[in-house]
Amino acid sequence: MSPHTPPEQHTTVAIVGAGMAGLIAGRNLRRQGIDVLILESANRVGGRVLSETSVLGSRLDLGGQWIGYGHNRFENLAEDLGVNQFPMHTPTRPVIVRNGRAVSPYQLGSLVALIALGGFEMRSKLKPPKSWSTTTIDGWIRQLPSSTARRLLQVSIEVATTADLDQFVMSAFAAMVRDQGGLSAMTKTRGGAQETLIVEGVGTLTDQIAAELGKYVLLNTTVQSIHRTDVGISLKSSTGTVHADRIIVCVPPPRLKGISFDPPLPRDLIQLSNDSYMGSVYKAIAVYNEPFWRESLDAEFMLLDRPAGAVFDTSPPDGPGHLCMLIGGKEARTLDAMNPSARRDAVLNSLATAAKLPGLRRPAGWHEKAWHLDEYVGGGYSALPRKDVTHSIYPAPSEPIAGTMFWAGTETATEHAGYIEGAIQSGERAARQVLDSLR
């Protein structure tokens, strides 16, 4: 072989993507004695999961982090891998801040927003009005009489979905809310999707699974084309060619356009890829020697002043102090042109003013991630429907193709799609399907 000829490898199952879904599928197949190769474009595993170590030695999550209520697979995986879980430190309701001051939950704007959300959820469970198929969330919000209510709903929904609200129609939003168990389940901490955290960080789980798989995970390997024949699958990548009997594709629907498929994908998958995009979200964690704010307040905020977003106290039980900031949708992209110190100052100055705690401006460590700028993931938390889509895109199609091509990824989950729990479920399902086909 010429030294310039790309190497060829052979395996039973090729898996595209080393996020949680791909790693779970690979681990389950390897434990059944099946040869696998996981091909990952990035220089790390985890996909939308990313953990880092702070200057104080604590672990923190810049990607998906919460074990929600009823996320049993995620909880069991954490127990199996020996990490420590702890409940969120959370008040009854977050403090709403506008113009640097706390807004009373009984103020007119707060009540209007609450009534609007209640009415939306009730109508979404029934037959949504026809007008919702052409009305965007942004258009719906603009109809409200209170500027505070409009701003509160805008920021809350951007953080919950990471969507551009002028590109998301109400009927599709209602379908998403139904799929994810209602607005309360999506936004609550205790009893909702933000219930429990992992001391060691969720990235510890993906790192442990990758360590178990060892040489069967190939990083810096971008899959460029997938050719399916009667005798197997050929994948051309940036590092060579892989021949396999089966393939599991764990790529978010919008990112499928980056791969050439021969023969072409079924029409419904092509349509979904064209009709969806990855949301915009900026996440930051400020690290302090201790959660000193607890002496005077519970640090859970909805900040309506720019940069607007949500703040959560994610400090581990034995310290140090962690404050998590989430900014979604168009609001997240307003930070892109700033340098890191300017972003830190913009976020923390707003928070310190609201909390009346100047010490919040001086963290020991600062960690940040703009997921919409990640060239491999493309955004978060999950795929979203474009403006002309009026229905739910969950679960994404996952029927095997010709008995050789299988699908995983949180968007394909039939339970908790869009969450880490959904990614785990999809990986387990795909592994079972592959095993059945091989038998």
pTM: predicted TM-score of the whole model, two decimal places = 0.95
Instruction: Please tell me the predicted confidence (pLDDT) of residue 181.
Output: 81
Q: Which amino acid is present at 169?
A: V
- Between 403 and 191, whose confidence is greater? 403
Query: Worst-scoring range by mean pLDDT, 99-113, 267-281, 305-319, 330-344?
Result: 99-113
Q: Which of 169, 116, 121 is nearest to 146 (CA)?
A: 116
Instruction: Please tell me the predicted confidence (pLDDT) of residue 83.
Output: 98
Instruction: Please tell me the predicted confidence (pLDDT) of residue 6.
Output: 63
pLDDT of 1 > 80? The answer is no
Cα Rg of the chain (Å, integer): 22
Cα separation, 31 vs 232, whole angstroms: 23
Cis peptide before 419 (omega within 30 of 0): no
Cα separation, 24 vs 96, whole angstroms: 39
Confidence category of residue 410, pLDDT binned at 50, 70, 90 = very high
Q: Which of 133, 230, 161 is nearest to 419 (CA)?
A: 161
pLDDT in tens, 339-388: 999 999 999 998 999 889 999 999 999 999 999 999 999 999 999 999 99
pLDDT of 144 > 90? The answer is yes
pLDDT of 260 > 70? The answer is yes
Query: Worst-scoring range by mean pLDDT, 16-25, 43-52, 125-134?
Result: 125-134
Phi and psi angles of residue 68, each rounded to the nearest 5 degrees, phi first: -80, 170
Cα separation, 226 vs 205, whole angstroms: 29
- 415 CB-contact burial (10 Å; exposed 0-12 / middle 13-18 / buried 19+): middle
pLDDT of 2 > 70? The answer is no
